[in-house]
Amino acid sequence: QIERTLVIVKPDGYRRGLTGEVLRRIEAKGYTLASLQVMTPDRERLAQHYAEHEGKPFYEPLVDFMSSGPATFVVVEGQRCIEGFRILAGATDPTAALPGTIRGDLGRDWGKKVQENIVHGSDSPESAEREIGIWFA
Ligand code: CMP
C-alpha cells in the first residue's frame, strides 16, 4: 500500500547545500515528492515533533540545532517509503552509517552534543501522520 513519510533535510543539510542531493536520491529511488516547504522550524512545533525525546540529554541541543536555520520539509509518497527512506538515510550516527546511505556518504561527527545527521525520516505510519499534521497543518 502507498505510504507517506515526513522527511526533513535538517539545517546542517541546508547550510551545506545538500538539499538537492537528498531530494535527488529520494526521486532516484522512485518515491514521489508530494509536498515541499522550506522554513526555519519554530521551537513550539519542534517540542511537539520531538516530544518522545523530552528529558534526554540531547533534547535541548537538538531543539537549538533544529531551530538554527532553514530546513526543508518534504512529504514523500510511495510503496513502503517509510522503511525505504530510513534505509536510504542510514544509521542515526553518521560515523557508523554505511557508505551508500545519505548519512554514510555525506555525514560525519562534528563533535557536537547532538548528531547533526542531515535528514530526518518518520519511523512508523503513526509517526508519519502525526509529524505531517504538525508541519503541514
Ligand atoms: P532524528 O531522526 O531527527 O530524531 C532525533 C534526533 O536526535 C536524531 O535524528 C539525531 O539528530 C539526534 N540524536 C538521536 N540520538 C542521539 C544521541 N544519542 N546523541 C545525540 N543526538 C542524538
Q: In this structure, which residue's CA is closest to atom 11 in ligand 1? A: 115
- Domain membership of residue 58 (yes or no) is yes
> What's the grid cell of residue 85?
527512506
- Domain membership of residue 109 (yes or no) is no
pTM recorded for the entire structure: 0.97
Q: In this structure, which residue's CA is closest to atom 20 in ligand 1? A: 114
Q: In this structure, which residue's CA is closest to atom 1 in ligand 1? A: 120
- Domain membership of residue 91 (yes or no) is no
Q: What is the structure's pLDDT at 1? A: 86
Residue range(s) defining the domain that contains residue 76? 2-83+121-135
Q: Residue 124 — left, alpha, or beta (φ > 0 → left; ψ -120 to 50 → alpha)?
A: beta
Contact 70, 39 (CB under 8 A): yes
Tell the residue number behind the cell numbers 555525514, with chain if given: 107
Kindly report the three-state secondary structure assignment for every residue of 36-102: EEEECCCHHHHHHHCHHHCCCCCHHHHHHHHCCCCEEEEEEEEECHHHHHHHHHCCCCCCCCCCCCH
Residues with a known catalytic role: 120
The ligand 1 atom nearest the CA atom of 113: 20
Contact 118, 94 (CB under 8 A): yes
* 12: Cα separation from own chain's centroid: 11
Number of domains in the chain: 1
- Residue numbers in the known binding site for ATP are 10, 58, 86, 92, 103, 117
Residues in the chain, pLDDT under 50: none
- Domain membership of residue 71 (yes or no) is yes
Q: What's the CA-to-centroid distance between 115 and ligand 1, angstroms?
A: 5
Q: What's the CA-to-centroid distance between 114 and ligand 1, angstroms?
A: 6
Rg (CA), the chain: 14
Q: Which residues line ligand 1 (CB under 6 A)?
A: 53, 58, 62, 92, 114-115, 117, 120
The ligand 1 atom nearest the CA atom of 116: 11
pLDDT digits (tens, 9 = 90+) for 61-97: 999 999 999 999 999 999 999 999 999 999 999 999 9
Q: Which CATH number is 49's domain given?
A: 3.30.70.141
